[in-house]
């Protein structure tokens, strides 16, 4: 027996009729009535919204023998893959939780809490956002329904032996065209000139300047960071892209891996010695090249050698970018040796630290070779690696 659209029966034994005969005693308990529900995609997340016909508390659902669950179903035939149910907060917490259970022919499997953002705008409404991967899904079309149940004596089941009343909303599974999200931009917030991240969080950011490049090839950096499971931020020189990555293959792989790309001017001049119009051209032309090969518009800018004046900051801001400096500098550009790079980074690491290294502009084998020990040493001190957009809390824009 397959779990198909009409067979939510395997979950609830069957859809039950919660109505008693007229004059036969107390009115049977009813599932919580659903006023509205939706499932949509917002960037990387699935967003589930539900509004009930009465006030409700997720923490009271189980105690009252109620449940409100999202059924996730195959697009082709409506067969149920999994369910996501509302639950009360974990002890000591305030936010409601989502409990995920895979569905098999035998019914729901063990329920586990998933990472989700849950908010409420009223006592009748709830919105939850979560990644498809957290509920065993890929980015592809799917169908959904909301199931509201109550499990108490007094219902009149449609099938013998069942003790559950249930309703589905909508009555037929609804298709949502989930697609692989494409990162197209980011939205800066806060100061226009940043030297460091928040000191209260044990985060640190690896950044690399002057690529793409050929010694070593930029993919060597990308692959090593993948192997180490470390995201990074790459500040790119615009004119290097058509020379070393004319099709943007490396840049698209960076973004697909969760790395971030920033603007490092078109040709790496001393911006302070240029007019405002020339400064703007240097920044905007590099951004245009990055967008041409990736579709992504950067919101991070770093001036060559960190040399800025008020005009540079103003031009970058007018183009929608934050100017990024750094506060950990192992001077890898001077080729001090792998060990010196590692020691410098570890000695100067701190919460919110921005490490400035290089993946272009010269032979960067020392920088690449230092990465495994550098990362291991920072992890041993409890640091979490983040991109600059993550560190600064910038919103990412997807299509």
Tokens of 78: 């409506």
What backbone phi and psi angles, to 5 degrees, belong to 306?
Answer: 70, 15
Where residue 32 falls (left for φ over 0; alpha for ψ -120 to 50; beta otherwise) is beta
Catalytic residue among 240, 264, 268, 358: 358
Tokens of 358: 């290089």
Between the alpha carbon of residue 241 and those of residues 60, 64, 186, 284, the distances in Å are 57, 61, 21, 14
What backbone phi and psi angles, to 5 degrees, belong to 119?
Answer: -130, 160
Catalytic residue among 45, 203, 209, 245: 209
H helix intervals, 122-230: 218-228
What is the pairing mode between strands 395-398 and 384-385? unpaired
Q: Is 268 a catalytic residue?
A: no
Beta bridge partners of 194: 324
User: Strand runs (DSSP E) across 203-350, as ranges?
Assistant: 203-211, 233-236, 260-263, 300-301, 322-324
The three-state secondary structure class of 325 is coil
- E strand or H helix at 288: helix 276-294
Where residue 374 falls (left for φ over 0; alpha for ψ -120 to 50; beta otherwise) is alpha
Q: Is 221 exposed, middle or buried (0-12, 13-18, 19+ CB in 10 A)?
A: buried
CB atoms within 10 A of CB 256: 12
Q: Is 209 a catalytic residue?
A: yes
Decide: 392 and 194 in contact? Cβ < 8 Å. yes
Catalytic residue set:
209, 358
């Amino acid at each position: 027996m397959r779990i198909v659209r009409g067979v939510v029966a395997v979950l609830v034994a069957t859809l039950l009729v919660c109505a008693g005969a007229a004059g036969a005693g107390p009115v049977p308990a009813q599932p919580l009535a659903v006023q509205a529900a939706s499932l949509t995609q917002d960037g990387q997340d699935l967003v589930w919204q539900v509004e009930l016909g009465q006030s409700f508390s997720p923490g009271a659902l189980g105690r009252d023998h109620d449940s409100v669950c999202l059924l996730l179903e195959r697009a082709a035939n409506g067969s149920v893959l999994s369910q996501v149910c509302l639950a009360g907060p974990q002890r000591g917490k305030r936010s409601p939780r989502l409990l995920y259970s895979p569905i098999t022919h035998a019914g729901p499997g063990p329920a586990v809490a998933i990472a989700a953002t849950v908010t409420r705008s009223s006592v009748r409404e709830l919105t939850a956002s979560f990644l498809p991967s957290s509920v065993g899904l890929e980015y592809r079309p799917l169908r959904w329904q909301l199931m509201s149940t109550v499990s108490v004596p007094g219902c009149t089941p449609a099938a013998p032996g069942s003790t559950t009343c249930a309703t589905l909303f909508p009555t037929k599974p609804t298709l949502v065209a989930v697609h692989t999200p494409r990162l197209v931009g980011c939205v800066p917030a806060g100061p226009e000139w940043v030297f460091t991240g928040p000191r209260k969080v044990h985060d640190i950011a690896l950044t690399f300047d002057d690529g793409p490049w050929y010694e070593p090839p930029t993919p060597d950096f990308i692959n090593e960071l993948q192997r180490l499971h470390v995201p990074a931020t790459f500040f790119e020189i615009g004119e290097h892209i058509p020379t070393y990555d004319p099709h943007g293959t490396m840049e698209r792989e960076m973004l697909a891996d969760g790395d971030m790309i920033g603007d490092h001017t078109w040709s790496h001049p001393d911006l302070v010695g240029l007019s405002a119009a020339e400064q703007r051209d240097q920044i905007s032309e590099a951004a245009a090249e990055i967008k041409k090969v990736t579709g992504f518009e950067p919101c991070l800018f770093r001036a060559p050698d960190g040399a800025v004046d008020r005009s540079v900051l103003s031009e970058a801001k007018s183009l929608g970018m934050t100017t990024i400096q750094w506060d950990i500098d192992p001077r890898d550009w001077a080729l001090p040796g792998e060990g010196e790079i590692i020691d410098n980074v570890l000695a100067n690491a701190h919460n919110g630290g921005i490490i400035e290294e290089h993946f272009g502009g010269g032979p960067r084998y020392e920088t690449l070779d230092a990465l495994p020990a550098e990362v291991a040493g920072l992890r041993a001190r409890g640091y979490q690696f983040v991109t600059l957009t993550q560190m600064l809390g910038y919103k990412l824009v997807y299509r």
